[in-house]
Amino acid sequence: MFNPEEKRGVFSIAGIYGLRMMGLFLILPVFAMYAESLQDVTPVLVGLALGAYGLTMAVFQIPFGWLSDRIGRKPVIAAGLLIFALGSVVAAMSDSIWGVIAGRALQGAGAIAAALTALLADLTREEVRLRSMAVIGMTIGFSFTLALVLAPWIDALIGVPGIFWATAVLAVLSIVVLYRVVPTPKRTIRHRDAEAVPTEFKRILRDPQLLRLDFGIMALHGVMTAMFVALPFVLRDQLQIEPIHHAWVYLPILLLAMGLMVPMIIMAEKKGKMRPVFLASISGVLLSGLLLGTFHNGLVAVLIGLFVFFVSYNVLEATLPSLISRMAPIDAKGTAMGVYSSSQFLGAFFGGSLGGWALGSLGTSGVFYGCSLAMLLWLLLALGQRMPSMKSAYMTHVDGRHVQSASALEAQLLDMEGVYEARVVPEEDAVFLRIDKQTFDEEAVRELLAGATE
């Protein structure tokens, strides 16, 4: 369990992360319709405005994480939040699509995801770090769901410019929370299990299994962004549902989807059914695109298509980080997650841009069929996806100055019951293990490490 300081740090950081992501998500269900009133608007530029944040976030998030190692977490996070607020103000004050694109790109340039994750790692013990990351993941998922439901109502009250102004205010308030609520870590160090390490990129980018997952999250977020280029028009123009009532379409579907995704995730994680659940979820997103592309004139077909999409999307969002974590080298999980996150943000950029092009060139059906094509490509790649063993990661420390042979110590660790992978990094005083919790003897490992440094 979290101790009091960890609890304070985890939930305040999750709040900052969640508010920032909600500011990005709130635009999704309402922007395409608002953009009709902007100067110089075209479908391609609408899609670019929706996805522009993804490109700058993908470019800057890892460098911002490295910068936080050098000058401290909080100054980098505060600077990122200020850039995000500035982007929100630029978008709010713009009466042309180009101004909104610039604002959205600025929002993404305040890329604090890696720095927030590093701060979280500074404030938590290794044994609760996975749980703290899960809290962040659930917060992002909740923010996405809440944003889809609230956005039509907020839009009716204050409009899209008002949403941008509100996100700017929330970003500034987040800086107050950062300095008044989030604890200041006693020391700032690099965490291989949570941060990207420059020397590890070649190893991660050469792993075909990890690259399959990176392509998958890029395709998934591309599809999600592209769908919201076309979906608001389907609800308004094809189904004659007023924009303020779009929330009543999303709310029951999202609640039902969340109810079904939980047993599917349990089946995948706890019952050893990860591969069939994984492939079924990719197929579900593919099917939803076909349904929406073919039958978007019918309310029942659209509701079924959206339900299948949100169930499948949520299951993949929840299970993909777990797959990356288990498949990555145990001493390079942070690097693998950094590449994964950058792929996710790039997906939003490409999805918005290509979705806008498809809407202008091929119409509504072309957007949804394009989404299905992207998922078909992923499905074909996923058929060759190796599922990782459902072992747990474990990290502990050793006095690296007294470790005479890292490879010999790794061999001794691998001889111990319950240890399936071992990596000793003396220069960082760190030991990384892949273990079976049922048979792992933590005390025996500590005795071995103590003896190795005597």
* 115-146: pLDDT as tens digits: 888 888 888 877 777 788 888 888 888 888 89
**What tokens appear for 210 in the block?**
């990890």
Across the range 28-35, mean pLDDT stands at 93
> pLDDT at residue 275 above 90?
yes
- In this predicted structure, the answer to whether residue 34 has a pLDDT above a threshold of 90 is yes
The average pLDDT across 230-258 equals 94
Between 437 and 60, residue with greater pLDDT: 60
Query: Coil, strand or helix: which one is 396?
Result: strand
Sorted by sequence, the CB contacts under 8 Å of residue 177 that are 6+ apart come out as 12, 15, 16
Q: What does the pLDDT average to over 234-243? A: 94
Phi then psi for 39, rounded to 5 degrees? -70, 150
As a residue count, the chain comes to 454
Share of the chain above pLDDT 70, in %: 99
Q: Which domains does the chain have, with CATH numbers?
A: 1-195 (1.20.1250.20), 200-390 (1.20.1250.20), 393-452 (3.30.70.100)
Side-chain half-sphere of 451: how many Cα atoms within 13 Å? 9
Residue 227 has a pLDDT of 95
In angstroms, the CA 215 to CA 203 distance is 17
Which run of H or of E encompasses 206? none
Q: Nearest to residue 269, comparing CAs of 396, 379, 134, 383?
A: 134
pLDDT for 385-427, tens place per residue? 988 877 777 888 888 777 778 888 888 888 888 888 888 888 8
Residue 454 has pLDDT above 70, yes or no: no
**Ramachandran angles phi, psi of 434, nearest 5°:** -110, 120
pLDDT in tens, 342-359: 999 999 999 999 999 999
Indicate whether 163 pLDDT > 90: yes
- Two tokens, residue 164: 């941008």
Token digits for 417? 């019951």
Reply yes or no on whether the pLDDT at 316 is more than 80: yes
Cα–Cα distance, 78 to 400 (Å, whole number)? 34
Res 61 pLDDT > 70: yes
Is residue 451 predicted with pLDDT exceeding 80?
no
* Mean predicted confidence (pLDDT) in 298-304: 95
This prediction has a pTM of 0.91
pLDDT (average), residues 170-198: 85
Name the amino acid, one letter, at 273: K
Residue 366 pLDDT > 90:
yes
The pLDDT assigned to 329 comes to 86
- Average the pLDDT over each of 57-71, 102-116, 210-224, 430-444 and give the range with the smallest value: 430-444
Residue 297: exposed, middle, or buried by beta-carbon count in 10 A (0-12, 13-18, 19+)? exposed
- Least trusted range by pLDDT, from 85-94, 127-136, 206-215, 375-384: 127-136
Q: What is the mean pLDDT of residues 275-294?
A: 96
> How far is it, in rounded angstroms, from Cα 454 to Cα 76?
40
What is the model's pLDDT at position 49? 95
Helix 97-109 to helix 73-93 angle (10° resolution) is: 170
User: Does the structure show a pLDDT above 80 at 194?
Assistant: no
Please tell me which residue, 239 or 185, carries the higher pLDDT value: 239
How does residue 56 score in pLDDT terms, banded at 50, 70 and 90? Answer: very high
- Residue 190 clears pLDDT 80, i.e. is over it: no
What is the band of 434 on the pLDDT scale with cuts at 50, 70, 90?
A: confident
- Of 19 and 357, the structure prediction assigns the larger pLDDT to 357
pLDDT over 90 (residue 383): yes
